[in-house]
A and B are shown apart, each in its own frame.
Chain A
């Protein structure tokens, strides 16, 4: 990893396009957390929040949500605001996994608006495809998909293309992804960072080098934020719930009650016990993933882009095991999940009631329920779920 990486030039922009599940969230949290410190080192992480997703969605005019049911375009102002901040004498870092599925012409336009190919460098973080698979499936389940893991693998790894596999490989064909960006900014300005399994510091160290930051400045900021995977039972729980609810709600309803209310609370408010099984890839798929990974490793070596790390790590075969659905959910998980929905539903009702109170102000409206105060919610969330 220490293979003498030269930082990007002053006044340049480093555009990090993901991929998903390569430690992007941890990186973004660390960047946001050290925003002021970064400026001292001549590095800017634009914006005030943790993520650039909104700005990128707006810039790419990419709808977010279920197609045909609540997907919407993010207002352009989010992108314009980011563009203004990019005008900076030092180094700018922009990071969002949502860049991984834009069309080449959109990518080119974004690069153009950021100052063109002599100002922008692109970095793509990569992990063995075998490690990506269970996470990618879970991500889809969190978005409402009802397909079982093995079924989904069959689709993704099938010889015949389908719209599902096309879309998946558009993002996850690592060689094609790297080449797509290399064609826009040039291979010498395109970096592929290969993250070896279990190496939590690799992504931080690579970015420290590319941004000319002291070693471990970002790594030391590694947050508590885990964005942990769901256990096999949790994932099966959400999948089954999706199945139960399919077609009965809008994206907004799903995303608030299930994604934000249920899943987030279940995942964030508890640490699974050591006996809880992780999502396991069946042997046949693990082998296929290793084959594909070898192809990516070879393709990357000959792509001409700047490679940081050992491409061979991309060919690692994931651990395999039974993908049979779980039958029982840990009690803590069930409670946290239900609590998440209740809390979310109450917060919504309260908002609605307050809105109604405002809109009907001239009428002597009965007071909205006060018991569930913002403080109470905060307290409950903080307390988490305890046995």
Chain B
């Protein structure tokens, strides 16, 4: 990381497109937390809430949720507000993993909205694909997906790519992702930040450098951010539950009952003991991941974008172990999950017309709930 990073210029916009599971949430939480102090250093993090995902969805014209059942369009005005706040004499930082999934023409339009390639720079944070895999599967589980990890891996690495695999690699082919943005803003204005496994400060260091912030300015704001991975037992529980309910629910119902009510509480209120089994990637897939990673490492190095960190880290083979479905659930996890939902359901006094009316007319827009990826399950 010692590579001296020169900051973007004043009046420019730094567009951070993810990827998922590279520490983006922690970065965004730190940025939001530092919002006022940032302005004093001539840096703006537009908006008033923690995340900018809604604005990005609005700008990309993307619906959030299951495409066929209850996905919600985000009003475009949220994007317009972000664009107007980005007209700032200092440095502006816009960050959302949802940018990793936009088509090139949409990306180009969004860049144009933000002032065009002469004003916008793009930064993509990358981790070895092997480290991404279990997280990506879990993320899908949180969207209602019900295939076991092994099947997910088979789909992803199949010779013949299915639509689902295409979608996955559209986001996670790290070279293609960089190329897509570099073609819009220019290779010299595109940054690849390599995050080595287990390095929690690399992402902060890189952004402090790019935004000309004092060293440690963001890193010291690192909150013990939830967004932890699920354990193998928790993930299997969610997968099985999805299998039972997912076809029956609308996205809104799924999002409130299962995602918010059950999963979020379980993940946030519980600290799994160290010995609780984590999700393990089988050897064949770990080998594949290392191969892909090697290709990405070489591709990123040769691409001509500005690389921060060591691309070699992208080739790291993940630890592997035979994948076994968990047959039991740690009791405290089951309690946290059930309590979460029961509490969620009883928090607003149940009966009563006003409540009923609110249920009826409830808008999906609770800002900070749009937190993580919800691809079509």
Q: Which A residues lie at the B interface, using CB under 8 A? A: 233, 236-237, 240-241, 244-245, 248-250, 252-253, 257-258, 262, 325-335, 337-339, 341-343, 345-346, 348-349, 352-353, 355-357, 359-360, 365-366, 368-369, 371-372, 376-377, 380, 385, 387
Partner of A366, one of B240, B328, B361: B361
Q: Is the interface of B mostly helix, strand, loop or mixed?
A: helix
Q: Which A residues lie within 8 Å of B69 (CB)?
A: 371
Partner of B356, one of A252, A326, A335, A355: A355
- C-alpha gap A249/B341 in the complex (Å): 13
Q: A329, B329: Cβ atoms under 8 Å?
A: yes
16 A-B residue contacts at CB 8 Å? A236-B331, A240-B331, A249-B342, A258-B342, A325-B331, A329-B329, A338-B237, A339-B245, A342-B241, A352-B359, A353-B359, A356-B360, A357-B360, A366-B361, A368-B360, A377-B248
Partner of A233, one of B326, B331, B338, B343: B331
Assuming A352-B355, A368-B360, is B341 touching A338 (CB within 8 A)? Answer: yes
Partner of A262, one of B338, B346, B351: B338
Q: B245, A334: Cβ atoms under 8 Å?
A: no
B268 is an interface residue with CB less than 8 A from chain A: no
Q: A335, B341: Cβ atoms under 8 Å?
A: no
Q: Which B residues lie within 8 Å of A346 (CB)?
A: 249, 253, 257
B258 is an interface residue with CB less than 8 A from chain A: yes
In the assembled complex, the CB of B343 is this many whole angstroms from the nearest CB of chain A, namely: 6
B26 is an interface residue with CB less than 8 A from chain A: no
- C-alpha gap A130/B351 in the complex (Å): 42
- C-alpha gap A177/B84 in the complex (Å): 80
Q: For chain B residues 324-373, which have a beta carbon within 8 Å of chain A?
A: 326-339, 341-343, 345-346, 350-351, 353, 355-357, 359-361
In the assembled complex, the CB of B101 is this many whole angstroms from the nearest CB of chain A, namely: 26
Lowest 7 CB-CB distances: which A-B pairs, in order?
Answer: A356-B356, A334-B329, A244-B339, A328-B328, A335-B240, A334-B334, A240-B335
- 5 extra interface residue pairs, beta carbon distance < 8 Å, beyond A249-B346, A330-B329: A233-B331, A252-B350, A330-B327, A346-B249, A360-B357
Partner of A335, one of B237, B336, B339: B237
Assuming A335-B241, A372-B253, is B342 touching A353 (CB within 8 A)? Answer: no
Assuming A248-B346, A376-B248, A387-B240, is B329 touching A341 (CB within 8 A)? Answer: no
In the assembled complex, the CB of A314 is this many whole angstroms from the nearest CB of chain B, namely: 35
Q: Is the interface of A mostly helix, strand, loop or mixed?
A: helix
Q: Which A residues lie within 8 Å of B342 (CB)?
A: 241, 245, 249, 253, 257-258, 262, 341
- C-alpha gap A46/B331 in the complex (Å): 43
Q: Which B residues lie within 8 Å of A376 (CB)?
A: 248
In the assembled complex, the CB of A371 is this many whole angstroms from the nearest CB of chain B, namely: 5
Q: B341, A237: Cβ atoms under 8 Å?
A: no
- C-alpha gap A257/B331 in the complex (Å): 19
In the assembled complex, the CB of B69 is this many whole angstroms from the nearest CB of chain A, namely: 7
Q: Name which residue of chain B comes closest to A376, CB basis.
A: B248
In the assembled complex, the CB of A380 is this many whole angstroms from the nearest CB of chain B, namely: 6
In the assembled complex, the CB of B259 is this many whole angstroms from the nearest CB of chain A, namely: 12
- C-alpha gap A291/B332 in the complex (Å): 37
Q: Which B residues lie within 8 Å of A356 (CB)?
A: 353, 356-357, 359-360
Partner of B360, one of A333, A366, A385: A366
Q: B331, A341: Cβ atoms under 8 Å?
A: no
Assuming A338-B237, A371-B249, A371-B250, is B339 touching A241 (CB within 8 A)? Answer: yes
Q: B244, A380: Cβ atoms under 8 Å?
A: yes
* Bitwise interface map of B from 254 to 265 toward A, beta carbon under 8 Å scored 1, else 0: 000110011000
- C-alpha gap A348/B351 in the complex (Å): 10
Q: Name which residue of chain A comes closest to B347, CB basis.
A: A248
- C-alpha gap A326/B345 in the complex (Å): 27
B236 is an interface residue with CB less than 8 A from chain A: yes
Partner of A245, one of B241, B339, B353: B339
Q: Which B residues lie within 8 Å of A372 (CB)?
A: 248-250, 253
Q: Which A residues lie within 8 Å of B80 (CB)?
A: none
Q: B257, A240: Cβ atoms under 8 Å?
A: no
- C-alpha gap A257/B338 in the complex (Å): 10
Q: Which A residues lie within 8 Å of B330 (CB)?
A: 327-329
Q: B244, A385: Cβ atoms under 8 Å?
A: yes
Q: B346, A257: Cβ atoms under 8 Å?
A: yes
In the assembled complex, the CB of A378 is this many whole angstroms from the nearest CB of chain B, namely: 11
Partner of A248, one of B338, B343, B359: B343
In the assembled complex, the CB of B262 is this many whole angstroms from the nearest CB of chain A, namely: 6
Partner of A353, one of B257, B350, B360: B360
B375 is an interface residue with CB less than 8 A from chain A: no
In the assembled complex, the CB of A328 is this many whole angstroms from the nearest CB of chain B, namely: 4
Assuming A258-B342, A365-B360, A371-B250, is B350 touching A331 (CB within 8 A)? Answer: no
B252 is an interface residue with CB less than 8 A from chain A: yes
Q: Which B residues lie within 8 Å of A258 (CB)?
A: 342
Q: Name which residue of chain A comes closest to B245, CB basis.
A: A342
- C-alpha gap A362/B76 in the complex (Å): 32
Q: Which B residues lie within 8 Å of A341 (CB)?
A: 338, 341-342, 345
Q: A348, B350: Cβ atoms under 8 Å?
A: yes
Q: B338, A337: Cβ atoms under 8 Å?
A: yes
- C-alpha gap A252/B346 in the complex (Å): 10
Q: B356, A237: Cβ atoms under 8 Å?
A: no
Q: Which B residues lie within 8 Å of A325 (CB)?
A: 331
Q: For chain B residues 157-176, which have a beta carbon within 8 Å of chain A?
A: none
In the assembled complex, the CB of B71 is this many whole angstroms from the nearest CB of chain A, namely: 13
Q: B250, A369: Cβ atoms under 8 Å?
A: yes
Q: A369, B252: Cβ atoms under 8 Å?
A: yes
Q: Which B residues lie within 8 Å of A349 (CB)?
A: 359
In the assembled complex, the CB of A286 is this many whole angstroms from the nearest CB of chain B, namely: 25
Q: Which B residues lie within 8 Å of A371 (CB)?
A: 69, 248-250, 253
- C-alpha gap A376/B346 in the complex (Å): 24
Q: Name which residue of chain B comes closest to A258, CB basis.
A: B342
Q: A345, B356: Cβ atoms under 8 Å?
A: no
- C-alpha gap A288/B330 in the complex (Å): 33
In the assembled complex, the CB of A359 is this many whole angstroms from the nearest CB of chain B, namely: 6
In the assembled complex, the CB of A263 is this many whole angstroms from the nearest CB of chain B, namely: 10
In the assembled complex, the CB of A13 is this many whole angstroms from the nearest CB of chain B, namely: 39
- C-alpha gap A248/B346 in the complex (Å): 8
- C-alpha gap A359/B351 in the complex (Å): 13
- C-alpha gap A332/B329 in the complex (Å): 9
Q: B248, A334: Cβ atoms under 8 Å?
A: no
Q: B248, A331: Cβ atoms under 8 Å?
A: no
In the assembled complex, the CB of B156 is this many whole angstroms from the nearest CB of chain A, namely: 24
Q: B338, A338: Cβ atoms under 8 Å?
A: yes
Q: Which A residues lie within 8 Å of B237 (CB)?
A: 331, 334-335, 338
Q: For chain B residues 73-102, which have a beta carbon within 8 Å of chain A?
A: none
In the assembled complex, the CB of A114 is this many whole angstroms from the nearest CB of chain B, namely: 37
